Structure 1
Amino acid sequence: MDIKKKMLKKSTIALVAIITLVSCACKKNEASLPPTKTKSDPHFAGTWITNVASTALDSRANIQEAVATCKKSGINNIFVVVWNQGRTLYPSTVMANLFGENAKIASKFQGRDPLQEMVEEGHKAGIKVHAWFEYGFAASNNQNGGLILQTKPQWAAKDSNGNLLTKNGFEWMNAFMPEVQDFISSLVLEVVEKYDVDGVQGDDRLPALPSTGGYDDYTVNLYKAQHSGANPPSDYKNTEWVNWRADLLTTFLGKLYQQVKAKKPKVMVTVAPSVHPWAKDEYLQDWPNWLDKGYADLVIPQHYRYDIAAYKSTLKQQLTYVKPQHKSKFYPGVLIQNGTYNPTDDFFKQMIDANRAEGIVGESFWFFEGVKKFPAFFETYNQ
């Protein structure tokens, strides 16, 4: 009887030892594997909310309604406009100090703070809110520079004929001039300091400048100082001239990125440029370089196309500029409304399916009003 007990005891000890070894081995293998994404992990889903062709920002009640729509639709990131037509959509001390008390906020929103209202309502719903600086280095649209360039004419960007730099109706400040760069940076940093935003964003105008620009005295003299006195090429598409100016904007973005992170490390710096290489050739936006240098937490190129063949082709092309280690920072911008245009239900679904087929688990929609046009799709989106 004692012998049987001893044998049973030894067998039990051996069995426990084997189970322990197997368990440890399994844990070791699990630790060596990358974490898997569970169904409960939300993917990135964004939309832009603007004060143009939308009443979403016209009152706090409208903001609450917009946030509720986003929540119901699976949108977890809102990019809300805070800078366009030479005005901020929040009370700006920077603007008041430079251009007078009447320039403190866009006149339509005097007495309110749409940005603060959006931050409060968005956070209540568990949605991240990003301050979107829509106009970037553009001073105005069809206003000949507006208040900014009337007050600061020395800030004007110039084309090769010495005229105010204008493209597609937008009139531009000189994005290479330190004083102008400091102005735009001060607006971004003002928002970071004053508001509990989750991010700040520039689009196809920040940082950017039409490649027809750069012929102002400041930029010409800077180029000459670095090129043995030679003038910039008269051909604005000259490769070296494009690269030189694009690098100046990349340097600006790198500095701004560091400034934001120094104030609030958790605030994201995102960009929504045009597609590459068109963005660089036309607006000096070298966003693959921004990713490589670590100057952007997310890049959301504007993949605005009107048929699935063009969309798929653009998506595949853009991914060739994104290194594997940066793919998690890349999300397409998807067009779901532009004026009276909306994609068909089938085309909309095909674009999202194309993203998923390429291993992309999110996108941002241009723009919010379009979200309301596809209730059936958004019932199950991001679930």
Structure 2
Amino acid sequence: MFKLFRIKRGLILLVSSLIITILVILVTSKISTATQRHEVRGVWLTNVDSQVLFSSQNLKNALNRLNKLNFNTIYPTVWNGGYTLYPSSVAQKVLGQSIEPIPELKNRDILQEVIKEGHKKGLTVIPWFEYGFMTPIDSELAKRHPDWLTNRYDGTKIDSDNQAWLNPFHPEVQQFMIDLIMEAVARYDLDGIQLDDHFSLPSEFGYDDYTVGMYTKELKGLVPSKDFYETFWVRWRADKINEFMKNLSAKIKAVKPGCIISISPNPLHFSLPASLQDWFTWERREYISEIVLQVYRSDLPRFVTELERAEVDLAKTHLPVSVGILSGLKSASLPINQIESQVEEVRQHGLAGVSFFFYESLWNWSDEAPIVREKVIQRMFPNSVSRG
């Protein structure tokens, strides 16, 4: 009888111990989430639907706010709509304009401003070459260099967003992009540069004479498929962009070895066939040093599915993989509780952090008051941490 009592008592103690252990793990997990030691906490600063870059005071106010809320990384746009947003001698030579000709940028160097003010606040500053190979059809770039543009099989040059595309296979286009990026890398005390989903080419493009000529010369007897999703035609063009990325990466590392080479692509299952952007190869071959994966999904299960893909699991063992979270658009606000849930999923999946698209929509265009949204951000980021 006494022996049975001891066995029961032992089982009770064992179960109690297991319960306590589980509770400790859960509590520790919650605590560690709230007191991250390293985490990317970023935000994109845009020149569309936002005034943050259009005056020195607006910029200072924004960086003060981000610093107060324990952000540590900013991605300010510097190449948008066919213009640089900072004075560029490369742009002057190629476009005839050193900077976007608007009053808000006159006599200013916003890249220098954002680096100076950002570094004062301890923020990592990674300028974002947002437009990549995309340019408005009526831009000076498109007008001055029509031979740099590519087209669809039917000869049309404008995509569904009324944008034209520079031919990423053309050597003069490649040199322009290299010169533009390298000018910023060499001239400014930036922490890195970022390329996104526009550093690519929609797969329906690439039927210009230059590219077709290159293809038929390399592959005797073959012509590009009319089907722009045809596997070999996709692979050939993606590999050409891979070669260019290798070249660009080597040049950046040679000039500034510690420069973060960040990319913000779409998930691979879309980016490769639809945009010829094989970022998984860039990651495997160490052309890049950071990924901020755009996962702009409102449905939480779909959001989580993108975090659990094999290429994401592989990449995060190799370099920091953060997640781009949509915080809203002027035409489509998003509730802050959705944003908070997505941040928590990113943490639970062991990813490096988050970046929000974009600054303005973190606070505005929502049914919730800005102060309410700000309090939730304070809850998400209760303490100051380094980006790792």
Q: Same fold (TM over 0.5)?
A: yes
Distance in 1 (alpha carbons) for counterparts of 2:85 and 2:38: 29
Indicate the SS of the match to 2:308: helix
Residue 296 of structure 1 and its aligned partner are, at CA, apart by 1.1
Give the equivalent residue in structure 2 for 1:264: 256
Name the stretch that deviates more: 322-331 or 45-54. 322-331
Letter in 1 for 2:205: G
1:325-344 pair list within 5 angstroms: 326=317, 328-344=319-335
Give the equivalent residue in structure 1 for 2:42: 46
1:95 partnered with 2:91 = yes
Give the equivalent residue in structure 1 for 2:265: 273
Letter in 2 for 1:94: V
Distance in 1 (alpha carbons) for counterparts of 2:340 and 2:34: 23
On the 8 A contact 1:331/1:360 being kept in 2, the answer is yes
Give the equivalent residue in structure 2 for 1:216: 208
Indicate the SS of the match to 1:266: coil
Letter in 2 for 1:134: E
CA deviation map 1:318-349 (0-9, x unaligned):
x5444166354211110111124333232222
Q: 1:251 to 1:371 in 2, by over 3 A?
A: same
Give the equivalent residue in structure 2 for 1:360: 351
TM-score, normalisation: structure 2? 0.84
1:163 partnered with 2:156 = yes
Q: 2:113 aligns with which of 80, 95, 117?
A: 117
Residue 378 of structure 1 and its aligned partner are, at CA, apart by 1.8
Letter in 1 for 2:206: G
CA deviation map 1:48-99 (0-9, x unaligned):
0011100001111111011011111221110000001111000010111122
Distance in 1 (alpha carbons) for counterparts of 2:184 and 2:250: 15
Indicate the SS of the match to 1:61: helix
Residue 134 of structure 1 and its aligned partner are, at CA, apart by 0.6
Distance in 1 (alpha carbons) for counterparts of 2:334 and 2:34: 31
Residue 356 of structure 1 and its aligned partner are, at CA, apart by 1.5
On the 8 A contact 1:167/1:210 being kept in 2, the answer is no
Pairwise CA RMSD: 1.9
On the 8 A contact 1:157/1:165 being kept in 2, the answer is no
Distance in 2 (alpha carbons) for counterparts of 1:58 and 1:171: 26
Indicate the SS of the match to 2:281: helix
On the 8 A contact 2:264/2:294 being kept in 1, the answer is yes
Give the equivalent residue in structure 1 for 2:58: 62
Distance in 1 (alpha carbons) for counterparts of 2:252 and 2:34: 31
Question: How many residues are aligned here?
Answer: 341
On the 8 A contact 2:132/2:198 being kept in 1, the answer is yes
CA deviation map 1:178-225 (0-9, x unaligned):
10011011110110111111011111111x001011111111111112
Distance in 2 (alpha carbons) for counterparts of 1:279 and 1:376: 35
On the 8 A contact 2:330/2:361 being kept in 1, the answer is no
Residue 277 of structure 1 and its aligned partner are, at CA, apart by 1.2
Distance in 2 (alpha carbons) for counterparts of 1:291 and 1:46: 20
Distance in 2 (alpha carbons) for counterparts of 1:99 and 1:320: 39
Q: 1:235 to 1:251 in 2, by over 3 A?
A: same
1:182 partnered with 2:175 = yes
Give the equivalent residue in structure 1 for 2:299: 307
Q: 2:217 aligns with which of 218, 221, 225?
A: 225
Q: 2:360 aligns with which of 362, 365, 369?
A: 369
Q: 1:294 to 1:341 in 2, by over 3 A?
A: same
Give the equivalent residue in structure 2 for 1:196: 189
* Percent of aligned positions that are identical: 33
Give the equivalent residue in structure 1 for 2:342: 351
Q: 1:174 to 1:199 in 2, by over 3 A?
A: same
Bigger RCO (CA 8 Å, 6+ sep): 2
Larger Rg: 1
Q: 1:340 to 1:158 in 2, by over 3 A?
A: closer
1:107 partnered with 2:101 = yes
Q: 1:282 to 1:325 in 2, by over 3 A?
A: closer
Indicate the SS of the match to 2:164: strand
TM-score, normalisation: structure 1? 0.85
